[in-house]
Amino acid sequence: MINFRLDRRGLLKGGLAAGTMLAAPTILTRSASAYTNEPTGSNVVLGFNVPQSGAYADEGADELRAYQLAVQHLNGEGDGGMLNTFSSKELQGNGVLGKKVDYVTGDTQTKSDAARASAKRMIERDGAVMITGGSSSGVAIAVQGLCQEAGVIFMAGLTHSNDTTGKDKKANGFRHFFNAYMSGAALAPVLKSNYGSDRKAYHLTADYTWGWTQEESIAASTEAIGWETVAKVRTPLGAGDFSQYITPVLNSGADVLILNHYGRDMVNSLTQAVQFGLLDKMVNGKKFEVVVPLYSRLMAQGAGENVKGIFGSTNWHWSLQDEGSKAFVKSFGQAYGFPPSQAAHTCYVQTLLYADAAQRAGTFNPCGIAEALEGFEFDGMGNGKTLYRAEDHQCFKNVLVVKGKDNPESQFDLLEVVDEVPAEQVTYAPDHPMFAGGELGACNPGA
Amino acid sequence: MIPETVSVRDGTQPGAGAMDVFLLQVLNGLDKGSAYAMIALGLTLIFGTLGVVNFAHGALFMLGAFCSVALNKLLTLEKIALSETEMTAWGTPLEIRTPYAEAWFGDFGAWVIDWSVPLSILIAIPFMLLVGIVMERGLIRHFYKRPHAEQILVTFGLAIVLQEIIKAWFGANPIPQPAPEALTGMMDFGAAIGMDAGNVVYPAWRLVYFLFAAAVIGAVFAFLQFTTFGMVVRAGMADRETVGLLGINIDKRFTLTFGIAAVVAGLAGVMYSPILSPNYHLGMDFLVLSFVVVVVGGMGSLPGAVAAGMLLGILQSFASMNEVKAIFPGIDQIIIYLVAVVILLARPRGLLGRKGVMES
Amino acid sequence: MTVEQSKKDKIMVIGVVLAVLLGPIILNPFGAGYPDLLQKFVIYGIFAIGFNILFGLTGYLSFGHAAFLGVGSYSAVWMFKLLSMNIVPAIILAMVISGLFALLIGFIALRRSGIYFSILTLAFAQMSYNLAYSVLTPITNGETGLQILHGDPRVLDAAVEDGALPVTNLFGLNMNATADVSLLGMDIQFNAGYYICGLIMIVAFYIALRLFRSPFGMMLKAIKTNQNRLNFTGVNSRPYTLTAFVISGIYAGLAGGLLACTDPLAGAERMQWTASGEVVLMTILGGAGTMLGPILGAGVIKYFENIFSAYNESELMDVFSFLPHWLQELVVSVSSLFVGEGWHLTLGVLFMLIVIFLPGGLMEGFNRLVKLARGGYRKDGASASAAGKVTAE
Amino acid sequence: MSSILKVQGINKHFGGLHALNNVNLDVEQGKVHAIIGPNGAGKSTLLNCFIGRLTPDTGTVDFDGTSLIGLKPHEINQTGVSRVFQTPEIFTELTLLENVMIPALAKRDGAFKPSLWSSMAGETEIRDQAMNALSEVNMGGKAGMTAASLSRGDKRRLELAMALVQNPKLLLLDEPTAGMARADTNATIDLLKTISGKGLTMVIIEHDMHVVFSLAEKISVLAQGTVIVEDLPEKIKGHPKVQEAYLGGAHL
């Protein structure tokens, strides 16, 4: 059996000697499969591409746990988790489209290159029809681009940058996680009611694309409630010691410090801001405050005591009391002995959503799945009623505003949900300036 | 997309003069510099005596930091009882945890936990000494005469192994290590040196760190200066072969030297843990920087390592100021390397180095 | 010596050509026979060959070669964005720009030698990386990496269909064109991009070989042994080292350009010091100063990075399913420390073992095996001649 | 008689030490000129000033009409000055043949010629020159050996071959026979005699008076950085100043 995967467009342009020689066999046969990695056997392979080394390795490990759980549930093992609460009832626990779900894993190292190499391995060698995972926006955007070219679906993991479904959006890519704009939109009213509308904010921002989009989003939404932005200072990624950026805050006249940091940077800058006594200061007659717009419970653990009383936003938290969340926390907790992180949640949900879409579409063809996901409305997955918007493949759902808990009951109980901001409040137009500049393009089935 | 320029606001706070801002940045720099200096000190000591380029030195700093994590974990080992009434969110009985230390020793136990970071010094010294000696005897010793490239490769391999072991044990996330309650507050440093009160206040722990570093560095210098052992080591740094010819068993002393270097790096790590929550990758983050420090200071020069550490720390602080970044965007990203290039071109042997060391 | 030498060289070149041609078949049973990893093997092979020209011959240990790799990638992607998806202009620009960049950095850094040179190159590379990640984002697209977009000008190319991204090609032959062939019961993928890169690597290898055997190469070896003496012999060593530095910079740029050709994205991490360290490790691991060592080293490290990291516990369970259950669990729990998320540990242990037991790298191990085999043969009395007169290549 | 190397008024200080004090030297074309003197007299320092290893504080060194002061080592060599070092400085990792081919290449190609594409194997002419030079020092049979394995005396002879292959106008020899067995020393003396017979100018520093008086046509005696006597060999032998310099502490 010989089959060739050659791009038709390439052939049209061909004609020069080097080209024709190697491309010649393509004239003999046409592709046998309709799309990249069409599963022909009794199982279907999903690719879980998570950071296993580097700063986000723990988050990656949690994502992997969630994926394994999702695969079990899809294959009818375990208690079914969110399958029982999911509004769509297509999935029966007998795999997807009658095929058993198999998976392969890889290490993104939180580097675009490594992540793409790992995803390519899963696509080229292991025959994965879908790639999912990741813990940073740079990687998500890089892998999303790859999946678009290769003709497989990308279900983004933890990626918060506006660009993922903004200027870098792709037809084959889908994001369930919320984004920086939503963080700003959700946080602003809470900040206003807690800290008032006459505040001067000082931004410390990780000096790369995600940091910038968050800074832009938060500054815009806090300025909308009357806050003044005193300074926006960029800090090198992985600066470690942030003292030299923190001391100027003391004398800047600002009374709120906004930390547009994630991961270790956030752990360190927050710890050090507290160490420098910012929270004990009175400025302009008001108590000085610190805000961490994007929280992660795993990272909050790293900052320890210092998160107490600090506002931020998060995609999901295990203490939510809706049926979906409870079901997920139950199966995850019983399997692993501790509650899932928001990264685990979004990855789990993305897997189920993909499987459900395939089931509904009756195919694993990326274009069929994309069609099934676009405009799909669902519930029972932890964030209330959710819409996968067709225009940019972004989920619109409730966003949680959280606060570092004053009296945690356990090492996992660090954040308390202050407000569940309804989806309408964080929804924006697809052509919002912060998301402009890219085009979704057409879905690519590859092959 | 062009990054927005930093909008700058001058210090208009009452009493916040340029002098205070300056002083604060100097303090920031000294603090950072203390860590650099302590790592670089050991690195240059090892290089000067053993002629070994030790890429695992950052990992030793990281191990030190994890000494405090380990002690803290040990002290906060918890007695776990399953609650009969309460359940977790996932339906298993809630675990009720009480630290053994508190359960057995009451207030004293709590005090020990509170002071666990400084107390880890007591563990770190013997532990790091042991690590250093085992490393030297088991591995480094066989690489004295091997090319630097091979020394780099083998120590780099060791560094990876050490950090992966730590990662397998403690996970990849940073683990917070709070400073003792009594030292978490701010201190009025300005008032202490006779300035107006309230302008130069600085976290107490960071001042402690600086003093601690000064004490450790001072102790190392005193040790090398005033003991016979130190004399031999210094002579060995100057001319290894001659000292060997004198019939002095230099190898034994070099083993101990390596141990001392490991202890210094470890102590730097222990006390730094409240400033930077330890994570397994900490060593690699400091490795490149400390090499730059060593070279800028002059390979094999102990005072050079200290001076360069402090200098680079302070320059890094100043380069991060908004006023400076407004003129040179991104200067804080590259300042260390820029300084290294300039110094190496203008003064190849480094600030205080001897001529000809490690040239080719 | 010369006849023997040139015969060995011929065998070596033929060996490399065969290895490249048969790569997809040979490596398939090892799980490495898929296009992306095969491409990485040959591309990083080029990178390491070039690095070896500098380090292996002159002994100058550059810790900043990744900067040239990155610059090559960025140049190539910009060419794809502005001019054409044809890889020829991209590769040319990648080599030119990285060569110029190497000339600039080499001119400054080669004023010093030893570890000072290493730190200078490291400093330049780190500055490049830090700036590329942040301030230079308009040129590099920072963290996300520079990608081709649908709306790029590409003045030489015809417009592409709506919504699709154009594919890199060599005069119409797409780099991602792959032929799946069933052979010997395996599903072999013959990929155009791999063969293009592979041919370029063969050329790069041949050029390096010529260089090693040339008077120029001899001068470089003399620099490594005793630079001062060489100067007193009437040779100005600086232009020699600078030429070697630039050539190896161009090799790195070529590798970077090819990375972009096979996968049109250039990320800043490509320039980080760890990436520079990687090529040092590849070269030493394989055997610095040998012809084949660097290619071998590149292959081993990329294999570990891509294959060992992909194992997960359930796959391990499958691998060891022949064992009794309790033993299976034990073996899996021990071995899982070394694969998957533990692949770095394996790499670290490997580095240590190789340096401790095989200071000359994998090539030394290989030579020892050959010697052992020959020695055994000679003991049988079959060969009386001085066949063992193996000179270091 | 024209002088090929003319040294005038050289002074060199190392910190407080006045290593060379107003040294003048005239080396005549085609002659063997020896510099002798007790340890620490400044002989090697003087030689280092000729080849660009050191730069004198004041003074001039003119070789064949060119000033050597300020020239880089390779430039000085390219003017036709070769040197045999006191401690052998060879390319230990290379073979003997390669060791000698390198200076031959330098002579032919100049200080820098990136011959990237030609092959060492194709440099037959250079190879022949190198083999000749090796044969001249009686080491032709060892051409394929790695230089690191040589004895100290052999390394020295290799150095000599490396210098001779360049066919220099001036040969500087820093203790050429140190570490050699008596037989080798005699062989070297004969060799140097033959070479000098062909008209090569040599400056030789030597402790071994047997060598000095076998070869030298003129001798300068250096003591405490100053040339105390410069004369024909037979006049030097009994010179009171020389005796004083060597046996300065005779009353000991």
Chain C: nearest CA to B76, how far in angstroms? 27
CA distance C67 to C59: 19
Q: For the beta carbon of residue D248, count every other beta carbon within 10 angstroms.
A: 12
CA distance B180 to B351: 37
State phi, psi for D83 to the nearest 5 degrees.
Answer: -140, 145
CA A30 → CA A7, A190, A334, D102, distances in Å? Answer: 10, 59, 50, 60
Cβ burial B248-286 (10 Å sphere, 16+ → b, else e): eebeebbbbbbbbbbbbbbbbbbbbbbbbbbbbbbbbbb
Could you give the percent of chain C with pLDDT greater than 90?
43
Over 90: is that where the pLDDT of C319 sits? no
pLDDT band at B291 (very low <50, low <70, confident <90, very high): confident
Chain C: nearest CA to B195, how far in angstroms? 39
- At residue B3, the pLDDT reads 41
Select the residue of C33, C167, C171 nearest A16 (Cβ to Cβ).
C171
Report, as an integer, the average pLDDT of C90-117.
Answer: 93
**DSSP assignments along B12-48, one per residue:** -STT--HHHHHHHHHHHHHHHHHHHHHHHHHHHHHHH
A336-367 tens-digit pLDDT: 989 999 999 999 999 999 999 999 999 999 99
pTM equals 0.88
**In what side-by-side order are the strands of the sheet with C178-183?**
A2-5, C178-183, C186-191
Task: Inspect the structure and tell me whether chains A and D have 3 or more CB pairs less than 8 Å apart.
Answer: no
Over 60: is that where the pLDDT of C24 sits? yes
| Helical residues (DSSP H) of A319-408, grouped into ranges | 323-336, 342-361, 366-373
Q: Is A203 helix (H, G, I), strand (E, B) or coil?
A: strand
Residue spans of the domains in chain A: they are 43-178+318-392, 181-314
- Residue corresponding to tokens 């630097």: B148
Third-level CATH fold of A181-314: Rossmann fold (3.40.50)
Query: Is A375 in contact with A390 (CB distance < 8 Å)?
Result: yes
Question: Which residues, including other chains, have CB under 8 Å from residue C87's CB and lie 6 or more apart?
Answer: C76, C168, C169, C170, C175, C196, C257, C261
For helices B18-50 and B204-226, angle between their N-to-C axes, nearest 10 degrees: 40
pLDDT band at A3 (very low <50, low <70, confident <90, very high): very low
A253 sits in which H/E element = none
Select the residue of D110, D113, D121 nearest C2 (Cβ to Cβ).
D121
A272-275 long-range contacts (CB < 8 A, ≥24 apart) are A272/A241, A272/A242, A272/A243, A272/A246, A272/B275, A273/A242, A273/A246, A273/A249, A273/A306, A274/A306, A275/B184, A275/B203, A275/B205, A275/B206, A275/B274, A275/B275
CA distance B236 to B251: 10
Could you give the percent of chain A with pLDDT greater than 90?
62
Query: Is D136 in contact with D161 (CB distance < 8 Å)?
Result: yes
Chain A: nearest CA to B325, how far in angstroms? 9
Which of C69, C86, C144 to mutate to test binding with chain A, by most A CBs within 10 Å of its CB?
C144
Select the residue of D73, D95, D98 nearest C232 (Cβ to Cβ).
D73
Report, as an integer, the average pLDDT of B248-272.
Answer: 88
Residue spans of the domains in chain D: they are 1-80+168-252, 90-167
Q: Is A441 helix (H, G, I), strand (E, B) or coil?
A: coil
Over 90: is that where the pLDDT of B2 sits? no
**DSSP assignments along chain D, one per residue:** --EEEEEEEEEEEETTEEEEEEEEEEEETT-EEEEE-STTSSHHHHHHHHTTSS--SEEEEEETTEE-TT--HHHHHHTTEEEE-SS----TTSBHHHHHHHHHHHHHH-S-----SS-GGG-HHHHHHHHHHHHHTT-GGGTTSBGGGS-HHHHHHHHHHHHHTT--SEEEEESTTTT--HHHHHHHHHHHHHHHHTT-EEEEE-S-HHHHHHH-SEEEEEETTEEEEEE-HHHHHT-HHHHHHHTTTTT-
- Residue corresponding to tokens 């490290």: C301
Chain C residues with CB inside 8 Å of D112's CB? 235-236, 239-240
A90-135 tens-digit pLDDT: 998 899 999 999 999 999 988 888 899 999 999 988 999 999 998 8
D27-58 tens-digit pLDDT: 888 889 998 888 777 888 888 888 777 888 88
CA distance B98 to C332: 34
Which of A79, A234, A280, A434 to mutate to test binding with chain B, by most B CBs within 10 Å of its CB?
A234
CA distance D97 to D130: 6
pLDDT band at C377 (very low <50, low <70, confident <90, very high): low
What does the block give as tokens for D172? 């500087």
Q: Higher pLDDT residue, D227 or A152?
A: A152
B9-51 tens-digit pLDDT: 343 444 456 778 888 889 999 999 999 999 999 998 888 888 8
Third-level CATH fold of B21-74+113-346: ABC transporter involved in vitamin B12 uptake, BtuC (1.10.3470)
- C356 by Cβ neighbours in 10 Å (0-12 / 13-18 / 19+) ranks as middle
Please give the ipTM for the structure prediction. 0.86
Cross-chain Cβ contact A58/B277 below 8 Å: no
Task: Inspect the structure and tell me whether chains A and B have 3 or more CB pairs less than 8 Å apart.
Answer: yes
Select the residue of D75, D103, D120 nearest C233 (Cβ to Cβ).
D103
Cross-chain Cβ contact A330/B91 below 8 Å: yes
Touching A: B residues 222-241, CB under 8 Å: none
Chain B residues with CB inside 8 Å of A304's CB? 176, 178, 277
**Residue D88: closest CA among C232, A101, A110, A260:** C232
Looking at chain C, which residue has its C-alpha nearest residue A207?
A: C134
- At residue B15, the pLDDT reads 44
Classify domain D1-80+168-252 by CATH number: 3.40.50.300
**Residue D214: closest CA among D230, D198, D191:** D191
CA distance D92 to D102: 13
- At residue C338, the pLDDT reads 79
Over 80: is that where the pLDDT of D237 sits? no
CA distance C20 to A349: 43
CA C10 → CA C4, C7, C84, distances in Å? Answer: 10, 5, 37
- At residue C39, the pLDDT reads 94
D62-77 tens-digit pLDDT: 888 888 888 888 888 8
Cross-chain Cβ contact C309/A25 below 8 Å: no
Q: Which of A51-65, B86-100, C11-25, C144-158 has the lowest mean pLDDT?
A: B86-100
- At residue A4, the pLDDT reads 44
CA distance B30 to A241: 12
CA distance C382 to D8: 70
Chain A residues with CB inside 8 Å of B29's CB? 244
**Residue B205: closest CA among D213, A274, D183, C290:** A274
C226-252 tens-digit pLDDT: 888 898 899 999 999 999 999 999 999
**DSSP assignments along D84-141, one per residue:** E-SS----TTSBHHHHHHHHHHHHHH-S-----SS-GGG-HHHHHHHHHHHHHTT-GG
B76/A contact by beta carbon, under 8 A: no
**Residue A110: closest CA among A285, A238, A278, A204:** A238
CA distance C313 to C336: 7
Average pLDDT along chain D:
84
Looking at chain C, which residue has its C-alpha nearest residue B56?
A: C348
Amino acid making up residue D11: N
Amino acid making up residue D17: L
Question: Which residues, including other chains, have CB under 8 Å from residue B327's CB and lie 6 or more apart?
Answer: none
- Which residues are bridge partners to D60 per DSSP? D8
Report, as an integer, the average pLDDT of A242-262.
Answer: 90
Chain D touching partners, 3 or more CB pairs below 8 A = C
- At residue B244, the pLDDT reads 64
Query: Is B31 in contact with A241 (CB distance < 8 Å)?
Result: yes
Cross-chain Cβ contact D77/C218 below 8 Å: no
Query: Is B237 in contact with B277 (CB distance < 8 Å)?
Result: no
Query: Is D230 in contact with D217 (CB distance < 8 Å)?
Result: no
Cross-chain Cβ contact C231/D73 below 8 Å: yes
Over 50: is that where the pLDDT of B296 sits? yes
pLDDT band at D195 (very low <50, low <70, confident <90, very high): confident
B90/A contact by beta carbon, under 8 A: yes
State phi, psi for C22 to the nearest 5 degrees.
Answer: -95, 0
Q: Higher pLDDT residue, C382 or D156?
A: D156
- At residue B360, the pLDDT reads 39
Over 60: is that where the pLDDT of B63 sits? yes
pLDDT band at D247 (very low <50, low <70, confident <90, very high): low
What does the block give as tokens for C280? 């040092």
B49-60 tens-digit pLDDT: 888 889 899 999
Chain C: nearest CA to A5, how far in angstroms? 5
Could you give the percent of chain C with pLDDT greater than 70?
93
Question: Which residues, including other chains, have CB under 8 Å from residue A214's CB and lie 6 or more apart?
Answer: A160, A161, A180, A183, A184, A205, A260, A293, A294
CA distance B74 to B70: 6
**Residue C362: closest CA among C308, C303, C310, C306:** C303
The DSSP bridge pattern shows strands A130-133 and A43-50 to be parallel
B276/A contact by beta carbon, under 8 A: yes
Query: Is C379 in contact with C313 (CB distance < 8 Å)?
Result: no
Chain B residues with CB inside 8 Å of C275's CB? none
Task: Inspect the structure and tell me whether chains D and B have 3 or more CB pairs less than 8 Å apart.
Answer: no
- At residue D1, the pLDDT reads 55
- At residue B241, the pLDDT reads 65
Task: Inspect the structure and tell me whether chains C and D have 3 or more CB pairs less than 8 Å apart.
Answer: yes
Diameter of chain D measured on Cα atoms: 67
Chain C residues with CB inside 8 Å of A236's CB? 130, 134
- C314 by Cβ neighbours in 10 Å (0-12 / 13-18 / 19+) ranks as middle
Query: Is A304 in contact with A391 (CB distance < 8 Å)?
Result: no
Which of A7, A68, A101, A165 to mutate to test binding with chain C, by most C CBs within 10 Å of its CB?
A7
- At residue B111, the pLDDT reads 84
Cross-chain Cβ contact C267/A112 below 8 Å: yes
A43-178+318-392 belongs to which homologous superfamily? Response regulator (3.40.50.2300)
Over 50: is that where the pLDDT of C1 sits? no
Report, as an integer, the average pLDDT of A5-17.
Answer: 40
Select the residue of C133, C158, C314 nearest A208 (Cβ to Cβ).
C133
Looking at chain C, which residue has its C-alpha nearest residue A15?
A: C172
Touching C: B residues 145-164, CB under 8 Å: 146, 148-150, 152-154, 156-161, 163-164
Average pLDDT along chain A:
87
